[in-house]
């Protein structure tokens, strides 16, 4: 009996060691990816507030805010080329973006942009708007609006 229980104990120790090994290696891997300096630029992006935009240097960073009403300017020659102002309270940053814009991008849309701050302009390579679940505008009194040209 002692022999059998000894074998069982040995097997359980092996399983315990294997499970511990899996957990240890996995946690080490997660920790390494999370802290490795080389990986940070590629894998991790600082989310800065607009007031700290000068701290970005030449790093790729992420900003969030509201599209300043009336600030969207689309180039006539290239409809994908777009400038707008990102606002966060009283802080504002001009943004330049040249890729396909999400459908929900418009004045006062809440957006997240990723890119680099170059010579006072944020050159965005990613633009996300809050998605469908955030379709929550204030109710408007329709009588205050006049019909305007259709615009895309």
Partner 1 sequence: MTPVAGGYALNLALGFSLFSIISVFWFHYNKDARLYFTAQRLVLGSCLLVGFATFVLAAELINSNFDIDYVAHYTSLETPAVYKLTALWAGQEGSLLFWLFILSIYAGTVVIQNQRRNVNLMPWVLVVLSVVMGFFLVLTNFVANPFAPTDADFQVMNGNGLNPLLQNATMAIHPPTLYLGYIGFTVPFAFAIAALISGDTGSLWIRSVRRWTLVTWMFLSIGIILGGWWAYQELGWGGYWAWDPVENASFMPWLTGTAFIHSILIQEKRDMLKTWNMVLIILTFSLVIFGTFLTRSGVMSSVHSFSASSLGPLFLGFVFFLLASSFALLAWRYSSLKSDSKIQSISSRESGFVFNNVLFVVLCFAVFWGTMFPVLTEAVQGTKITVGPPFFNQIVTPLALALLLLTGVGPLLVWRKTSKTSFYKNFPIPIFIGLTAAIVLIIIGFGSSVVMTASLSAFVLAAIMLEFGKGMQIRKTKLGETYSASLMHMISRNRSRYGGYIAHVGIVIMFLGFTGKAFDQEAEWGLRKGEEGHLAGYRFSLVQLSEAERPNHYAWIAEISVEDIGGEKVTSLHPEKRVYFHNNPNPDRRQPHSELDIHSTFRRDIYSVLSAVDTESGTAFMKIMINPLVRLVWIGGIILVFGTLISLWPRKEAN
Please report, as ranges, the residues that interact with partner 1 according to CB under 8 A.
8, 11-12, 14-15, 18-19, 22-23, 26-27, 29-30, 33-34, 39, 42-48, 62, 64, 74, 76, 78-80, 99-104, 106, 112, 128-137, 139-142, 145-148, 150-152
Closer residue to partner 1 (CB): 85 or 113: 113
Using an 8 Å Cβ cutoff, are 125 and 115 in contact?
yes
Which H or E run includes 15?
helix 2-35
**Least CB distance to partner 1 at residue 85 (A):** 19
**Least CB distance to partner 1 at residue 50 (A):** 13
**Least CB distance to partner 1 at residue 132 (A):** 4
Using an 8 Å Cβ cutoff, are 46 and 54 in contact?
no
Tokens of 129: 């708007």
Measured on CA atoms in the order 42, 112, 48, 70, is the torsion positive or negative? positive
């Amino acid at each position: 009996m002692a022999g059998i229980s000894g074998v069982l104990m040995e097997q359980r120790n092996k399983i315990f060691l294997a499970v511990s090994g899996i957990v240890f290696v996995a946690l080490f891997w997660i920790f390494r990816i999370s802290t490795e300096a080389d990986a940070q630029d590629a894998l991790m992006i600082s989310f800065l507030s607009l007031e700290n935009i000068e701290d970005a240097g030449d790093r790729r960073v992420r900003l969030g805010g509201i599209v300043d009403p009336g600030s969207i300017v689309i180039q006539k020659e290239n409809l994908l080329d777009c400038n707008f102002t990102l606002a966060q309270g009283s802080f504002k940053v001009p943004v330049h973006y040249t890729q396909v814009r999400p459908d929900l991008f418009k004045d006062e849309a809440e957006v997240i942009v990723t890119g680099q701050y170059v010579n006072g302009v944020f050159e965005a390579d990613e633009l996300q708007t809050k998605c469908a679940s955030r379709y929550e505008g204030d109710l408007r009194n329709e009588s205050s609006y006049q019909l305007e040209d259709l615009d895309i």
